[in-house]
Structure 1
């Protein structure tokens, strides 16, 4: 069997075992999370979609939801909060500043006037009612 080990994980484990805490080098600002790191669950009912998105560590004021027909775009502004006193120095921080966004398309257009959003405990819950479809109406022939 082949075992794949990530290069960074291999070195991190090696240095952690050899001398834990000694080989920590200063680093500020790891890369931003990829759009795929906004994890979503989408459920469909007859009249609406329910979307739950994990967006931890941001305030609800920094989350933006845009609905354009069947396309939903989630965007979050992630802000790093650095604080340092005179008696300490930062060795490593994995917090960052920037934005992350994810778009996805649903099968039906969304009635954006009736859509609702709630953010609680790092989870954004969207209730997205489907737009009434005029498809299937019979046309009167004159």
Structure 2
């Protein structure tokens, strides 16, 4: 079984982080791809996603057509007041999305998740593979 992150536009846009920092904010306008680790264990895959500033109720995990999708959002706050104005902003606010293609040897109903201190852990248990014995095929 393989658990492969799907391509994300924000992965492409990371190329521009240092080369063109002034245009970076244009790419972040709609969605951001959170950083994840994918760990394969003997009986399951673990997807660990950093979701700083996200509340548990603002995280949605779905499985559809062989793809696991993690969506999260943070609310936008206005930091400009009459006395203060934002000079520089790097913290992300808005929608975060990440998708993973799952192979056929998982049961979507067995997938579960835990969320604590801004870190989401999604566990995707593997189905036990049946050992098929070698045998000779008779030709008729």
What is the TM-score normalised by the length of structure 2? 0.60
How many residue pairs get aligned? The number is 112
* Equivalent residue runs for 1:1-80 within 5 Å: 6-8=19-21, 31=29, 34-35=32-33, 38-68=34-64, 70-80=66-76
Q: Which runs of 5+ in 1 are unaligned?
A: 10-29
Structure 2 residue 85 is the aligned partner of structure 1 residue 90: yes
Taking the aligned partners of 1:83 and 1:91, their CA distance within structure 2 comes to: 6
Taking the aligned partners of 1:45 and 1:98, their CA distance within structure 2 comes to: 32
Deviation at 1:113, TM superposition (A): 2.1
1:39-67 CA-to-partner distances (Å, cap 9, x unmatched) read: 11111123211110111111011011112
Q: Aligned with 1:105: secondary structure?
A: strand
Deviation at 1:74, TM superposition (A): 0.8
1:81-106 CA-to-partner distances (Å, cap 9, x unmatched) read: 33666x62434473665312111113
Give the structure with higher Rg (CA). 1
